[in-house]
């Protein structure tokens, strides 16, 4: 039996935090989204593929800060580029620094749909601007969505504090359900400004879905048929599935696309990119402004991150390591038949459990991720993982063995 980790300092800090911040930590970082009492609540430091909590426990991390870490933690070249920007030129001014144009040129070159770019700070802001541009361009009101698009009023799943009228013109369809989308468009197509979709399906707590043959192409055809703007939410897939995102990988080009996360290896930046005729709505008709959007720190980080990805062939390395890792996972789930399922793609693997009428899968999920964290492998029960560049062969081999032991524990307990 692997012992529970010592989390004394983390629990003490959590008690302190609850007096200062609602829930101590917010959103998906709250303890109930992991295994309460087994996972730390706070991290103290990280380097490469490793993270250390307040109690000194070191983990191999596969959550990668929920996606921004494409290279590794405290990547020296990226951090040095930021430090140079701060020391030599500064980063926050009344007017925009020209480094913004350098990064925009990079994105126009990299991203298939990108003719123009608007920079923001978060994925939620990018998604909201994307739909605002679509509404401004089309003069229409309604939106049809598929996937997670952030926490703003029109798209957040938890509706507390949000009047119904702020999302009553937003309709949802299921990933890979082209017929469901067609049905919604038949009813609302004349007033549908945009279809917004994550090109790879990643519903919370459920298996990752890749596009069925013809699905993304079908979505694009339907959008064109009804004159709706097609938006790909590439916040997770951009700069990871391929440099230009899932649209490059699957060769289906949308009208607009949203990027963030891995673009700057942890520094806060997001972007809306797309066709110039739609993007130009932001010149006068659609308002977008922020004190911090032109802040140049993340621009410097993004330029260096993209340079490293290109020079060191980072994504090919991640795909190669991830494909072997996923095959090893699949082999283990066959060997230990406890209901575990592997889904995703090489850069974004996920382990879930088949649902059953007795809901035993919930206990299995808790037991599995408990065993895993005790072996100092940091994955999330309700969110897919990521492979980063600094994951070593030794990291991956250790993790496969830890998963093997955890599945063996389940096999003994449940079978």
Out of 270, 288, 311, a domain closes at: 311
The CATH number of whichever domain residue 262 belongs to comes to: 3.40.640.10
Count the neighbouring beta carbons within 10 Å of the beta carbon of residue 194: 27
Residue by residue, pLDDT tens for the chain (415 residues) are 799 999 999 999 999 999 999 999 999 999 999 999 999 999 999 999 999 999 999 999 999 999 999 999 999 999 999 999 999 999 999 999 999 999 999 999 999 999 999 999 999 999 999 999 999 999 999 999 999 999 999 999 999 999 999 999 999 999 999 999 999 999 999 999 999 999 999 988 899 999 999 999 999 999 999 999 999 999 999 999 999 999 999 999 999 999 999 999 999 999 999 999 999 999 999 999 999 999 999 999 999 999 999 999 999 999 999 999 999 999 999 999 999 999 999 999 999 999 998 899 999 999 999 999 999 999 999 999 999 999 999 999 999 999 999 999 999 999 8
**Shared-domain flag, residues 317 and 307:** no
Give the Cα separation of 135 and 191 in Å (integer): 10
**Domain boundary at 277, 311, 345, which?**
311
Cβ atoms of residues 163 and 138 within 8 Å: no
Residue where a domain terminates, one of 256, 276, 311: 311
Query: Per the domain annotation, does 301 fall within a domain?
Result: yes
Tally of structural domains, the chain: 2
Q: Are 246 and 322 in a shared domain?
A: no
Say how far apart CA 294 and CA 273 lie, in whole Å.
16
Distance from C-alpha of 135 to C-alpha of 124, rounded to nearest angstrom: 17
Domain span holding position 13: 8-73+313-414
Q: Report yes or no: 154 and 170 within 8 Å, Cβ to Cβ.
A: yes
Say what the pTM is. Answer: 0.97
Backbone angles phi, psi at 243, to 5 degrees: -60, -40
**Adjacent-strand bridge partners of 3:** none
For residue 391, is it within any domain? yes
């Amino acid at each position: 039996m692997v012992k529970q980790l010592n989390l004394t300092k983390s629990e003490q800090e959590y008690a302190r935090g609850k007096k200062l911040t609602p829930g101590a930590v917010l959103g998906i970082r709250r303890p109930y989204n992991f295994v309460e009492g087994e996972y730390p609540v706070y991290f103290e430091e990280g380097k490469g593929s490793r993270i250390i909590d307040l109690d000194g426990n070191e983990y191999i991390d596969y959550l990668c800060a929920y996606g921004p870490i494409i290279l590794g933690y405290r990547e020296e070249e990226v951090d040095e580029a930021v430090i140079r920007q701060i020391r030599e030129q500064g980063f926050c001014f009344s007017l925009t620094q020209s480094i913004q144009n350098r990064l925009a040129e990079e994105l126009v070159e990299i991203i298939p749909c990108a003719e123009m770019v608007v920079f923001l700070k978060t994925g939620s802001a990018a998604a909201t601007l994307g739909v605002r541009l679509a509404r401004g361009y089309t003069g229409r009101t309604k939106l049809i969505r598929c996937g997670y698009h952030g926490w703003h009023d029109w798209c957040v799943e938890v509706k507390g504090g949000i009047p119904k009228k702020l999302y009553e013109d937003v309709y949802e369809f299921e990933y890979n359900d082209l017929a469901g989308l067609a049905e919604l468009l038949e009813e609302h197509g004349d007033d549908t400004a945009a279809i917004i979709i994550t090109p790879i399906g990643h519903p919370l707590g459920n298996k990752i879905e890749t596009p069925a043959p013809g699905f993304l192409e079908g979505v694009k055809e339907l959008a064109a048929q009804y004159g709706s703007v097609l938006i790909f939410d590439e916040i997770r897939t951009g700069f990871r599935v391929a440099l230009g995102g899932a649209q490059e990988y699957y060769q289906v080009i949308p009208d607009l696309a949203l990027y963030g996360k891995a673009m700057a290896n942890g520094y806060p930046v997001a972007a809306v990119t797309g066709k110039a005729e739609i993007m130009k709505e932001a010149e006068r008709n659609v308002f977008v402004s922020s004190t911090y959007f032109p802040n140049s720190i993340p621009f410097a980080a993004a330029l260096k991150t993209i340079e490293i990805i290109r020079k060191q062939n980072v994504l090919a390395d991640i795909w190669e390591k991830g494909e072997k890792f996923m095959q090893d996972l699949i082999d283990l789930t066959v060997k230990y038949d406890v209901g575990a399922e592997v889904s995703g793609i090489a850069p974004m693997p996920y382990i879930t459990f088949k649902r059953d009428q007795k809901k035993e899968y919930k206990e299995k999920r808790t037991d599995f991720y408990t065993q895993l964290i005790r072996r100092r492998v940091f994955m999330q029960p309700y969110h897919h993982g990521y492979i980063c560049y600094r994951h070593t062969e030794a990291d991956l081999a250790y993790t496969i063995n830890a998963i093997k032991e955890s599945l063996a524990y389940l096999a003994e307990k449940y079978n």
